[in-house]
């Protein structure tokens, strides 16, 4: 370790930094040795939209945002660089493409090398994903039998077929979390989380399946010994190289040699930052409710569930298996749903006056009118929603699925907007219930949902999720559980805790529980049945 990092003082040491790179922003959180968040800072990051379903970002822009957020958070917390015991990163599962020397390479029609990231939500590789799925290679057993265009090998195949020069000239293909640890340390190690969940690495066998890459048309990667996608795979929380490089330390405002943890996908960081409450990761389903949603279910033995990603070994909690589901649009689906209503503009203006997001303003209004969060279901007034604006991630892995709204009239007042909003929240809950029901049929029975993510913070939403799923929803004390999850990885790398499991049990705590309201269970059962019928009908539509 660098001498500067060794010479930390003894007072208020063991400060941890968690960095979360989401779809629209980079955030940094500073935590003390007890897991209490001292300060946080945020920087927006750019999204570039291309033709069709193309969505791109810039790795330079993201790294600058990370550095600025970390330095601001440190300043707000009043923390000196020498007090920091470690830093951990999480990020969306987006594909970063770098040429020789780490130079960014263009991935789309703009031919702009600064647009060198294919974002997780980019579905340009849908055709490639369908072709790969049709080959039915054995590795697909570990992604629910169907590979998603949100995963990396379809994206790589798209690059090979449509941007051959970029594909051939690429020095490294990174998952975004692995790019961040490389940028911080120079270490090319990949996290078992990223490559297992999104790249088809068989973590339980500690190998890539060469035959898969040859069969799908990515034989070059196998011929090269997988040097461009990862030859050294480590568990989340593993210390990378010798910590921060001199250059990265200056950019982040930290000391060279500060321990850096192998990273993790953002949703999985939310799982680490929440699922350690009573029952532990094996007893709780971690539900990360943000722009999209993810469900994280940990088991001691592998469980194969059709349409659910996994089982993945050591992808979240080292030594445990993970099944991952989710909804490609969750918070984003609510935003899109509301934007379709004629009263949305006036409601947004009122929300702006209060300085709160529109969904928060609507949730507050609903509670003011009905008093009981569970009673809000009466506000649906016959409106039913299947919120699959961006396809169905689980349990059908169908990128072609689209949203359905039934029961709308000609009303254009705020009351009608409230009805649509509540129906939308209920529909997110029914989608979550569907995922949990499929898992239960496969033998994975988790009774509690531990929630994180910005879209799930309001008590109305938490209670409606409990009522719609029929399961207890647990909220944790962490204000920013995704950031806490990355900070737990930092604690492992910095030697503050012995393991990820140890960190989860030490830092995760219950703040409140929301139990299903029995008085409304029959109503939700009927609405859930309607949800399933509408979903099935939409899949059968033609023309």
Q: What is the pLDDT of residues 164-192, one digit of tens each?
A: 999 999 999 999 999 999 999 999 999 99
- Scored b (16 or more CB within 10 A) or e, 358-375 reads bbbbbbebbbeebeebbb
Helix (H, G, I), strand (E, B) or coil at 25: strand
Indicate if 140 and 253 belong to the same structural domain.
yes
Determine how β-strand 284-289 pairs with β-strand 84-91: unpaired
pTM (two decimals): 0.88
Helix (H) or strand (E) holding 87: strand 84-91
Indicate if 255 and 343 belong to the same structural domain.
no
CATH number at residue 151: 3.30.420.40
Domain enclosing residue 152, as ranges: 13-264
Structure tokens at 70: 């970390």
Looking at residue 8, what is its pLDDT? 38
pLDDT, tens digit, for every residue of 405-463?
Answer: 999 999 999 999 999 999 999 999 999 999 999 999 999 988 899 998 888 999 999 99
Q: Evaluate whether residue 232 is within a structural domain.
A: yes
Indicate if 337 and 254 belong to the same structural domain.
no
Sign of CA dihedral 519, 334, 401, 453: negative
Q: Evaluate whether residue 501 is within a structural domain.
A: no
Q: Evaluate whether residue 216 is within a structural domain.
A: yes
Check: CB of residue 30 under 8 Å from CB of residue 73: yes
> Using DSSP, how many helices (H) and how many strands (E) does the chain show?
20, 21
Query: Among residues 236, 264, 292, which one ends one of the domains?
Result: 264
Looking at residue 12, what is its pLDDT? 65
Report the C-alpha gap between 394 and 292 in whole angstroms.
12
pLDDT, tens digit, for every residue of 373-392?
Answer: 999 999 998 999 999 999 99
Check: CB of residue 310 under 8 Å from CB of residue 321: yes
CATH number at residue 422: 1.20.58.2240
The percent helix, strand, coil of the chain (3-state, each to 5) is 45, 20, 40
Q: Evaluate whether residue 455 is within a structural domain.
A: no
Report the C-alpha gap between 435 and 447 in whole angstroms.
13
Number of independent structural domains in the chain: 2
**Residue 313 forms beta bridges with which residues?**
321
| C-alpha separations of 55 from 50, 108, 152, 198, 348 in Å | 6, 9, 14, 18, 26
Q: Evaluate whether residue 147 is within a structural domain.
A: yes
Indicate if 236 and 381 belong to the same structural domain.
no
Distant-in-sequence, close-in-space partners of 243: CB < 8 Å, separation ≥ 6: 1, 2, 5, 185, 256, 257, 258, 259, 260
Check: CB of residue 41 under 8 Å from CB of residue 483: no
pLDDT, tens digit, for every residue of 53-100?
Answer: 899 999 999 999 999 999 999 999 999 999 999 999 999 999 999 999
Indicate if 245 and 360 belong to the same structural domain.
no
DSSP 356-423: S-HHHHHHHHHHHHHSSSGGGGGGGTT-EEE--TT-B-SSS-BTT---EEE---S--SHHHHHHHHHH
Residue 543: which pLDDT band, with cuts at 50, 70 and 90?
A: low
Q: Evaluate whether residue 247 is within a structural domain.
A: yes
Check: CB of residue 232 under 8 Å from CB of residue 189: yes
Q: Evaluate whether residue 301 is within a structural domain.
A: no
């Amino acid at each position: 370790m660098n001498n500067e990092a060794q010479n930390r003082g003894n007072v208020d040491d063991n400060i941890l930094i968690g960095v979360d790179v989401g779809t629209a922003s980079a955030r940094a959180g500073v935590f003390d040795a007890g897991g209490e968040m001292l300060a946080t800072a945020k920087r927006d990051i750019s999204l570039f939209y291309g033709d069709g379903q193309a969505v791109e970002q810039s790795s330079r822009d993201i790294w600058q945002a990370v550095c600025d957020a970390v330095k601001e958070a440190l300043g707000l917390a009043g923390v000196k660089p020498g007090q920091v015991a470690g830093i951990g990163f999480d990020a969306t599962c987006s594909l970063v493409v770098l040429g020789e020397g780490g130079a960014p390479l263009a991935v789309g029609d703009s031919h702009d090398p600064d647009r060198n990231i294919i974002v997780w939500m980019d579905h340009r590789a849908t055709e490639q994903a369908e072709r790969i799925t049709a080959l039915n290679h054995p590795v697909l057993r570990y992604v629910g039998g169907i590979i998603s265009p949100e995963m990396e090998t379809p994206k790589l195949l798209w690059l090979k077929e449509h941007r051959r020069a970029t594909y051939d000239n690429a020095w490294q293909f990174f998952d975004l979390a692995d790019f961040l640890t490389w940028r911080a340390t120079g270490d090319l190690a990949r996290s078992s989380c990223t490559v297992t969940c999104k790249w088809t690495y068989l973590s339980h066998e500690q190998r890539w399946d060469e035959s898969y890459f040859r069969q799908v048309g990515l034989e070059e990667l196998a011929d090269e010994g997988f040097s461009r996608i990862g030859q050294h795979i480590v568990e989340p929380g593993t210390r990378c190289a010798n910590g921060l490089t001199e250059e990265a330390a200056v950019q982040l405002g930290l000391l060279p040699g500060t321990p850096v943890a192998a990273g993790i996908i953002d949703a999985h960081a939310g799982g680490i930052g929440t699922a350690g409450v009573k029952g532990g990761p094996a007893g709780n389903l971690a539900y990360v409710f943000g722009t999209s949603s993810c469900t994280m279910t940990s088991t001691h033995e592998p469980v194969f569930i059709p349409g659910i990603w996994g089982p993945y070994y050591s992808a979240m909690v080292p030594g445990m298996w993970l099944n991952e589901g989710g909804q490609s649009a969750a918070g984003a689906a609510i935003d899109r749903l509301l934007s379709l209503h004629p009263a949305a503009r006036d409601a947004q203006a009122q929300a702006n006056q209060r300085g709160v997001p529109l969904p928060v303003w609507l949730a507050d209004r609903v509670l003011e009118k009905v008093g009981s969060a569970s009673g809000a279901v009466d506000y649906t007034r016959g409106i039913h929603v299947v919120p699959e604006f961006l396809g169905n991630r689980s349990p059908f892995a169908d990128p072609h699925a689209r949203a359905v709204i039934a029961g709308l009239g000609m009303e254009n007042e705020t009351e009608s907007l409230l009805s649509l909003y509540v129906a939308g929240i209920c529909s997110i809950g029914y989608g979550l219930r569907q995922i949990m029901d499929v898992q239960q049929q496969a033998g994975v029975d988790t009774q509690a949902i531990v929630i994180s993510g910005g879209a799930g913070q309001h008590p109305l939403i938490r209670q409606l999720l409990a009522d719609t799923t029929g399961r207890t929803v647990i909220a944790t004390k962490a204000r920013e559980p995704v950031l806490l999850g990355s900070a737990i990885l930092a604690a492992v790398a910095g030697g503050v805790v012995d393991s990820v499991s140890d960190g989860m049990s030490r830092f995760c705590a219950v703040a409140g529980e929301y139990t299903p309201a029995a008085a409304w269970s029959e109503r939700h059962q009927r609405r859930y049945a309607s949800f399933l019928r509408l979903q099935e009908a939409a899949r059968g539509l033609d023309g």
